Structure 1
Amino acid sequence: MNKQRAHEIASSPVMANVTYNEVPIYIQNVNDNNETARIYPLDQPQNEQDVPLSNLKEQ
C-alpha cells in the first residue's frame, strides 16, 4: 500500500477493508520516516504492532 493511501485510510471515519497477512486490520497511524503503520487485528485490538506499508493490502 502506498503511503498516501495509508494516511487517507487512517484519517477516514469510514472503515476500509485492509489486511495484513490476510488478517483484517485497523490502521491507527502511519510513520512517514520509516514507511510503517501502527496496526492491530480487528478481533485483537490489544495486539498492536508496527508493520511495513508494503505488507498492507486493501481489498
Structure 2
Amino acid sequence: MDLQRAKEIAASPVMAHVTHEGHQVYIQSVDEGTQTATVYHLKNPDHRYAVHVRDLTEQHVVH
C-alpha cells in the first residue's frame, strides 16, 4: 500500500478491508516520516504495533 492511501484509510470513518500478513487489521494512524502505520488486529484491539505501509494490503470486497 502507498503512504497516501494508508493516510486516507486512517482518516476515513468507513472501515476498509486491510490486511497485514494475512490478518485483517485496523489502521489507527500513519507516520509520514517513518512511513509506518500503527495498526491492530480486529480480534485483539489492545495490541497495537507499527508496520511499514508497504506491508499492508487493501482487499477490495465485492458485494
Within 5 Å, which residues of 2 pair with 1:40-59? 40-59=40-59
How many equivalent pairs are there? 59
Output the TM-score relative to the length of structure 2: 0.92
Deviation at 1:25? 0.2
Q: Partner amino acid for 1:36?
A: T
RMSD: 0.4
- Cα deviation 1:6-54 (Å, max 9, x = unaligned): 0100000000000000100000000000100000000100110000011
Q: Does 1:5 align with 2:19?
A: no
Q: Partner amino acid for 2:26?
A: Y
Structure showing greater radius of gyration is 2
Q: Percent identity?
A: 46
Within 5 Å, which residues of 2 pair with 1:27-46? 27-46=27-46
Q: Partner amino acid for 1:46?
A: D
> Structure 1, unaligned stretches of length 5 or more?
none
Q: Partner amino acid for 1:5?
A: R
Distance in 1 between residues matched to 2:36 and 2:21, nearest whole Å:
15
